[in-house]
A and B are shown apart, each in its own frame.
Chain A
């Protein structure tokens, strides 16, 4: 196997892995403030891509307008999901809330199917230009956008959690909601903010990936699953772990398809995930949990 092939597998893997990472980041944010897994996260990713496609198709908007508009709309929907479904269930056990998010995901997927139809759609790439040769491998300009935006989101999150009072308040909610509330932090607002952020991050992942991988009403299922796996691999609750987990899964899939067999692509990634979890149940970057006795 020549080195150029190996490089190509890495490049493809990192591109796809970056979106798994962004999805995983969305899971992490909501988990950190509410302690639940939001199974509608994959649908935010789908909506990001689909709304951009249709604001161009139906609204006749140019790409640079359609993309931010779609991200904003999905962010607003994230707030809506919290206000309409999560907040009324406050105080209910986490399991009930998780089931609510599954319901929301089915609703969003079904709604998207009815409104946008069942076809697959393509979004034009953000910048024109042919693939860039890179040591025998080739790199799409869109891949640079994908990786660049993922890194930018990660840095922005790091700054937000470390430097801003809202970010710190959100972390406080993650540690102990009751204590945070007693300290004067409005936990409800923090939960809403976390839903808005995770919808935003998911939608971003959706729009930047749509030019490469195409989008349809049902892409959220698989992306959600992979994002969730990335989250677990990186250690639930750790934003850096989430993105790293996404990249690792993306690269493993690509290498697995290239060096072993493309038929077992998905299986390879998940087998490695399982093996890792046996060795390190708290994920690669997670702290071993010892509380809740």
Chain B
């Protein structure tokens, strides 16, 4: 009898040991939802690439807490409905401990209730302020909020003696969010919006809107949208011979924009952008310098395409999660969330992140610099 007990205890112990061993080898699973295909593919593709690149790098460096990480990527095809299906699978089937992405605001807002319910931290790569305001316990985001970009633009305009602007925004989620901020912040910034025009994200001719703006008292145009609309606007502006300055949003901060608009049409366009596209012009001493150059070099070497700030959002999201796991010494979803919220002064490609219980974006205006497109390249303005 006694021997029997001893035997079964040994068996149990052995099983536990074995099971424990298997558990330790099990990788830490981090979910990712990106718009790899569909209209938002220009965001999702570099984001997916970056996440995969960073996964390899972390694993090469020995993983996290002695375990490898595994990034499970789903493509939401730029469709919020598919993002909801993907998040269900990530939480229930793949049992991930944290999720990065989605790429678009629409998808992020669609899955936010799911991650709150499933108590899995989400670090979104989408920009709109609605994602983190009001604050949701489990939802964070890496891109700079539009409001920071708008402030930068208005400050630059004001400094250059511009007090009347025309706004020209896309009729999609990104453009509408920008339009709201542009109108709300105008008065506070001492700028008057004298024309408010809209274009469809798939429109191919914006001459009508620009002609209308030309006839107003506007001293500058602020355009808010993502490619290809803004590129068409840059072309049409040149065609109509409009000489007033044209400001764009950070949504076009990639070389693709210059290529689409054409060098001569893009010349002189001003926009706020993350430091990633001007990494070579960032001062040597700047805390982001090393990080930016390394990421840009590795990305371009591996994927043979120029780096964009969009991939940087995913880089930051995964880095933040990895950092939270390391500093919290736990890969449990709730612990990661708590640890994320304590992130302080963490430099990543977009800027310096300091999360607090009331700020789940954690960036300041410093995350943007004003750049001017000069001779087909980006020039950082002082």
Report the minimum CB–CB distance from B212 to chain A (whole Å). Answer: 6
Binary interface profile of A, 111-127, with partner B (CB < 8 Å = 1, else 0)? 00100001111100000
A119 partner residues in chain B, CB cutoff 8 A: 42, 256
A261–B198 touching, CB < 8 Å: yes
Q: Please tell me if A200 contacts chain B, counting CB pairs below 8 Å.
A: no
B238 partner residues in chain A, CB cutoff 8 A: 131
Asked if A122 meets B45 with Cβ closer than 8 Å, knowing A213-B204, A213-B205, A214-B228, the reply is no
Q: Please tell me if B208 contacts chain A, counting CB pairs below 8 Å.
A: yes
Asked if A138 meets B208 with Cβ closer than 8 Å, knowing A118-B41, A262-B198, A262-B199, the reply is no
A216 partner residues in chain B, CB cutoff 8 A: 228
CA distance in complex: A16, B204 (Å): 8
Q: Please tell me if B193 contacts chain A, counting CB pairs below 8 Å.
A: no
Q: Please tell me if B260 contacts chain A, counting CB pairs below 8 Å.
A: yes
Closest residue of chain B to A121, judged by CB?
Answer: B260
A residues 84-122 in Cβ contact with B at 8 Å: 113, 118-122
Q: Please tell me if B344 contacts chain A, counting CB pairs below 8 Å.
A: no
Give the total of A residues in contact with B, Cβ under 8 Å: 38
Report the minimum CB–CB distance from A20 to chain B (whole Å). Answer: 11
B215–A214 touching, CB < 8 Å: no
A59 partner residues in chain B, CB cutoff 8 A: none
Q: Please tell me if B171 contacts chain A, counting CB pairs below 8 Å.
A: yes
A138–B241 touching, CB < 8 Å: yes
Report the minimum CB–CB distance from A180 to chain B (whole Å). Answer: 39
Q: Please tell me if A263 contacts chain B, counting CB pairs below 8 Å.
A: yes
Closest residue of chain A to B171, judged by CB?
Answer: A263
B241 partner residues in chain A, CB cutoff 8 A: 131, 133, 138
B171 partner residues in chain A, CB cutoff 8 A: 263
Closest residue of chain B to A255, judged by CB?
Answer: B208
B209–A257 touching, CB < 8 Å: yes
Asked if A262 meets B208 with Cβ closer than 8 Å, knowing A120-B227, A120-B228, A131-B241, the reply is yes
Q: Please tell me if A12 contacts chain B, counting CB pairs below 8 Å.
A: yes
B232–A214 touching, CB < 8 Å: yes
Report the minimum CB–CB distance from B76 to chain A (whole Å). Answer: 15
A214–B260 touching, CB < 8 Å: yes
CA distance in complex: A31, B238 (Å): 40
B293 partner residues in chain A, CB cutoff 8 A: none
A209 partner residues in chain B, CB cutoff 8 A: 204
B214 partner residues in chain A, CB cutoff 8 A: 5
B residues 161-190 in Cβ contact with A at 8 Å: 171
Binary interface profile of A, 130-151, with partner B (CB < 8 Å = 1, else 0)? 0101000110100000000000
User: Which of A5, A8, A214 is in CB contact (< 8 Å) with B204?
Assistant: A214
A262–B209 touching, CB < 8 Å: yes
CA distance in complex: A182, B200 (Å): 51
User: Which of B200, B207, B239, B240 is in CB contact (< 8 Å) with A254?
Assistant: B207
Footprint of B on A, CB under 8 Å? 1-2, 5, 8-9, 11-13, 15-16, 113, 118-122, 131, 133, 137-138, 140, 209, 212-214, 216, 218-219, 222, 254-255, 257-258, 261-263, 265-266
Can you show 11 pairs from A to B with CB atoms below 8 A apart?
Answer: A8-B240, A9-B207, A12-B211, A118-B37, A120-B231, A133-B241, A137-B211, A254-B205, A262-B208, A265-B199, A266-B200
The 8 closest A-B pairs by CB, nearest first: A213-B204, A12-B207, A257-B208, A263-B198, A258-B208, A120-B228, A118-B41, A8-B211
Footprint of A on B, CB under 8 Å? 37, 39, 41-42, 45, 171, 197-200, 202-205, 207-209, 211-212, 214-215, 227-228, 231-232, 235, 238-241, 256, 259-260, 262
